[in-house]
Amino acid sequence: MKADLCDPQQWIEAPVLHDQAAILERIPQRYELALLHGILFHDVSKHKAIGFHDAKATDFWVRGHIPGRPLMPGVVMIEISAQLCSWLGTFADELSGHFMGFAGIDHARFRGQVVPGDRLIVAAEIQRLRRNLATFAAQAWVGGELVFEGLITGVRV
């Protein structure tokens, strides 16, 4: 993957641009799977967004994913990133009126841990956009440490 999509340090204390209620106006995930908690940055012309997820001790995965030492599953990091990609895709003219469903992931790498109490900063950028399909670069950090990166493919639903 290319260089970092953003400097994660600058977004750790950044104000929330769009809260979860605003996110839910654009993407369909609800209840335990509404995992994207806020948007910190959005640039329509650059096809780029930065969001976050605050991991809590009450999250659905904590009890069962390594009891006594809860670690966020990689698939949850992917889902959070995919939700940011889907949200970002709703601003593209080619996808107007639709959301992006998860179609695949390439080059996924997990480079660190996410535990309850961490804020996961997630960045996404549209790499390729067609009428029914989009590819996004996605990265996620805890503090300044890169914990996940991959290329997410979304399909118009």
Q: What CATH number is attached to the domain comprising 26?
A: 3.10.129.10
Whose structure tokens read 């001790």?
57
Instruction: Encode pLDDT of 73-104 as tens digits.
Output: 999 999 999 999 999 999 998 887 888 999 99
Let me know: does 95 contact 89? Beta carbons within 8 Å. Answer: yes
Helix H or strand E segment including 43: strand 38-43
In a domain, 1, yes or no: no
In a domain, 101, yes or no: yes
In a domain, 89, yes or no: yes
Q: Is 42 a catalytic residue?
A: no
Instruction: Encode pLDDT of 22-43 as tens digits.
Output: 999 999 999 999 999 999 999 9
Domain of residue 13, residue span: 8-156
In a domain, 63, yes or no: yes
In a domain, 3, yes or no: no
**Mean pLDDT, to the nearest integer, of 39-48?**
97
> Which of 18, 53, 65, 107 is an active site residue?
65
The string over 36-60, giving b where at least 16 C-beta atoms fall within 10 Å of a residue's C-beta and e elsewhere, is bbbbbbbeeeebbbbbbbebeeebe
**Mean pLDDT, to the nearest integer, of 105-133?**
97
In a domain, 56, yes or no: yes
Question: Rounded to an integer, what distance in angstroms lies between the CA atom of residue 123 and that of residue 42?
Answer: 10
In the chain, how many domains are there? Answer: 1
**Mean pLDDT, to the nearest integer, of 113-137?**
96
SS3 146: strand
* Confidence class for position 2, pLDDT limits 50, 70, 90: low
pLDDT at 3: 87
- Alpha-helix residue ranges (DSSP H) falling in the chain: 20-24, 74-89
Per cent of the chain over pLDDT 90 is: 93
In a domain, 139, yes or no: yes
pTM here is 0.97
Q: Check residue 13 and give left, alpha or beta (phi > 0: left; psi -120 to 50: alpha).
A: alpha
Neighbours of 127 (CB within 10 A): 15
Please state, rounded to an integer, the average pLDDT across all residues of the chain: 96
**Residue 1 predicted with pLDDT over 70:** no
Beta bridge partners of 38: 19, 52
Question: Rounded to an integer, what distance in angstroms lies between the CA atom of residue 17 and that of residue 120?
Answer: 16
Whose structure tokens read 């841990």?
113
In a domain, 49, yes or no: yes
